[in-house]
């Protein structure tokens, strides 16, 4: 039901920008998201990390909002769930720190380090990168939502939809 509605909104001519922008954006958004996840997950091996990858994720959602109208982007991820993801990322980072307190000191690298230059290595650094990436991505997207939807008076007609 929800999927069908989103499909209709993608092809609606009255919403968002022109057909050219929509076609290019539809191809690019998946690749931008993939690149963001790559930057986050390989943060302990290659340049990048949680913050840079998180901003890339936020840019993918921002592109969605600009190309296919604000309505569709809010259907995908609205301000409530954006702030929930923001809080979850923050909570995960702090919990990782406190688990380290159990083994030695705050933010102790408690997981087995593994062999260097492998994807699963460096203990808790990849986990912390993922937490920060989710946190930063959701947070910057939430700021863009905040600048976009707050401040305009939502009529009762729009609320009932």
Partner 1 sequence: MTALPIIILILMIAGAIVAVETKNMLSAVIAAGVVGFGVSVLFLFLRAPDIAITQVIVEVLSLIILIRVTTNTDNEAIEKRIDNFANITGLIFVGLFIAFCVWAFVDMTPFGNPLMRVSQHYLSAGLKETGAANIVAAVILDYRAYDTLGEAVVIFTSILGAFVILRKHGKKKLVEKDTEEIGIPE
CA angle 103, 109, 111 (to 5 degrees): 85
Q: How far is CA 85 from CA 11, 26, 105, 144, in A?
A: 29, 24, 27, 15
Q: Which stretch binds partner 1 (CB under 8 A): 1-9, 15-23, 43-51, 69-77?
A: 43-51
117: left (phi over 0), alpha (psi -120 to 50) or beta: left
Please say which residue, 72 or 140, places its beta carbon nearer to partner 1. Answer: 140
Question: Is residue 61 near partner 1 by the rule CB under 8 A?
Answer: no
Question: Do you know the residue count of the chain?
Answer: 161
Number of residues that bind partner 1 (CB under 8 A): 52
Q: Which residues bind partner 1 (CB under 8 A)?
A: 39, 43-49, 51-52, 55-56, 58-59, 62, 66, 79, 83, 86, 90, 93-94, 97, 106-107, 109, 113-117, 121-125, 128-129, 132, 135-136, 139-140, 142-144, 146-147, 150-153
């Amino acid at each position: 039901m929800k999927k069908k509605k989103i499909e209709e909104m993608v092809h609606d001519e009255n919403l968002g920008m022109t057909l050219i922008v929509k076609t290019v954006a539809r191809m690019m958004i998946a690749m931008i998201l993939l690149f963001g996840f790559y930057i986050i997950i390989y943060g302990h091996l290659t340049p990048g990390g949680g913050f840079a990858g998180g901003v890339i994720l936020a840019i993918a959602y921002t592109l969605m909002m600009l190309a296919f109208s604000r309505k569709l982007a809010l259907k995908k991820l609205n301000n409530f769930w954006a702030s929930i993801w923001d809080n979850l990322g923050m909570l995960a980072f702090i919990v990782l720190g406190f688990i380290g307190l159990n083994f030695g000191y705050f933010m102790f690298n408690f997981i087995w380090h593994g062999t260097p230059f492998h994807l699963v290595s460096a203990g808790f650094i990849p986990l912390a990168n993922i937490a920060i990436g989710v946190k930063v991505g959701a947070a910057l997207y939430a700021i863009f939502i905040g600048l976009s939807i707050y401040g305009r008076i939502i009529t009762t007609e729009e609320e009932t939809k």
